A and B are shown apart, each in its own frame.
Chain A
Amino acid sequence: EVQLVESGGGLVQPGGSLRLSCAASGFTFNNYTMNWVRQAPGKGLEWLSDISFSSRTVNYAESVKGRFTISRDNAKNSLFLQMNSLRVDDTAVYYCVRKKFGPDCLDSWGQGILVTVSS
């Protein structure tokens, strides 16, 4: 069974930093592109970033480009999101998501973790 478990969320002040982690199990992690998607309170889903299986290719949404960095450690079956210069509007539930093998859609989602940016 595919499992994606996020950690590292919490309360942070505006301008601060936070690092999210995602522990993957139940599949061959180093075969899959991985993503981060978020949902702000009362808002829809927002795709943030993805990273290819080899880390060779990464993409970012404009809203986080230059502030967030995605990375992975295939030896530890882990995905990360380093979030810097956090703003109040970064407050959201953040999901770790696997990209389907073949079509580039998102077939397995973690339970999500809340990040609150507030003074």
Chain B
Amino acid sequence: DIQMTQSPSSLSASVGDRVTITCRASQGISNYLAWYQHKPGKSPTLLMYATSILQPGVPSRFRGSGSGRDFTLTIVSLQPEDVATYYCQKYNSAPWAFGPGTKVAIK
């Protein structure tokens, strides 16, 4: 089975900073990669799929890129409401594995 890794496991940045999270698949998954945001006390939400297509309602400061094995989630200008754990997930084939998550905090 394909394994997903993420780095860093956590980060702290200032409001307005550019934040980058990376996700790596153990094998190529083309662009079958989604990102989720999980805020404390809430259910996870889908941020984007197909590496870079934003779900309706997701702010444009969230951007995705990559293909094959390496992917990136960028928050162009970090906002207080972006405090959350972010997960990547591959969906080229079952099992639909998640990465271990990256916790984002405000400095």
Contacts and interface: CB of A to CB of B under 8 A. Distances in A.
Chain B interface mostly: loop
For the side of the interface on A, what is the size category?
A: 20 to 34
A109 B34 contact: no
Contact of A109 (B1, B44, B50, B87): B44
B34 A46 contact: no
Query: Residue among B43, B46, B50, B89 with the most chain A CB within 10 A?
Result: B43
Interface stretch (A17-25, A74-82, A84-92, A99-107): A99-107
Contacts of B96: 35, 47, 50, 59, 104, 106
Interface in B36-53: 36, 38, 43-46, 49-50
Contacts of B97: 47
Interface string A98-119: 0010011111011110000000
Interface residues of B, number: 24
Interface of A: 35, 37, 44-47, 50, 59-62, 95, 100, 103-107, 109-112
Interface of B: 1, 32, 34, 36, 38, 43-46, 49-50, 55, 85, 87, 89, 91, 94-101
